[in-house]
Structure 1
Amino acid sequence: MIIPIAAFAVLSTVLFFPREQPDQLSEERGQSLFEPIESIETAEQNIEVEAPVELIAEAVSVAILVDVKGAVRHPGLYSMQDGDRLLDAVDKAGGYTEAADTRLLNHAQKLQDESVVYVPVAGEEPPVYEQPATAASSSSDSSTSKVNINTANESDFQTLPGIGPSKAMAIVQYREEHGAFSHLDGIKNVSGIGDKTFEKLEPHIILN
Structure 2
Amino acid sequence: MLDIWRKYGVIGIVIIAVGSFILLQIFPKKEEETSFIVDQQDNVFAQNETEMTVEAEEPLILLVDIKGAIKHPGLYKINEGDRIQDVIDLAGGLKDDADENQVNLAQRLQDEMVIYIPTIGEEIEHIQPNISSTTTQSAQDGKVAINHATAEEIQTLNGIGPKKAETIIAYREENGPFHTIEDLLNVSGIGEKTVENIRDQISVP
TM-score, scaled relative to structure 2: 0.53
Q: CA deviation at 1:38?
A: 5.3
Would the aligned equivalents of 1:113 and 1:132 in 2 still touch at CA under 8 Å? no
Q: Deviations over 1:130-173 (max 9, x none)?
A: 5434447985636xxxx9574534977xxxxxxxxxxxxxxxxx
Residue 152, structure 1, aligned to residue 173, structure 2: no
CA-atom RMSD in angstroms: 3.7
Choose which of 31, 35, 41 in structure 1 pairs with 2:19.
31
Would the aligned equivalents of 1:74 and 1:93 in 2 still touch at CA under 8 Å? yes
CA distance in 1, matches of 2:132, 2:13: 101
Give the secondary structure class of the aligned counterpart of 2:78: strand
Q: CA deviation at 1:27?
A: 2.5
CA distance in 1, matches of 2:16, 2:113: 89
Report the CA distance shift for 1:155/1:81 in structure 2 as closer, same or farther (over 3 A). Answer: farther
2:122 is matched with: 124
2:96 is matched with: 98
Q: CA deviation at 1:125?
A: 2.8
Q: CA deviation at 1:82?
A: 1.4
Would the aligned equivalents of 2:66 and 2:116 in 1 still touch at CA under 8 Å? yes
Aligned residues: 139
Residue 141, structure 1, aligned to residue 163, structure 2: no
Would the aligned equivalents of 1:70 and 1:121 in 2 still touch at CA under 8 Å? yes
Choose which of 20, 26, 34 in structure 1 pairs with 2:7.
20
CA distance in 2, matches of 1:62, 1:101: 30
Q: CA deviation at 1:32?
A: 3.8
Q: Which has the larger radius of gyration?
A: 1
1:81 is matched with: 79
Amino acid in structure 1 at the alignment position of 2:12: Q
1:188 is matched with: none
- Tell which deviates more after alignment, 125-134 or 71-80: 125-134
1:71 is matched with: 69
Q: Deviations over 1:87-136 (max 9, x none)?
A: 11111111111111122111111111101111111222333565434447
Segments of structure 2 that go 5 or more residues without pairing to the other structure are 136-144, 170-200
Q: CA deviation at 1:25?
A: 4.2
Q: CA deviation at 1:72?
A: 0.9
CA distance in 2, matches of 1:124, 1:90: 19
Q: Percent of aligned positions with the same letter in both sequences?
A: 29
Report the CA distance shift for 1:90/1:154 in structure 2 as closer, same or farther (over 3 A). Answer: farther
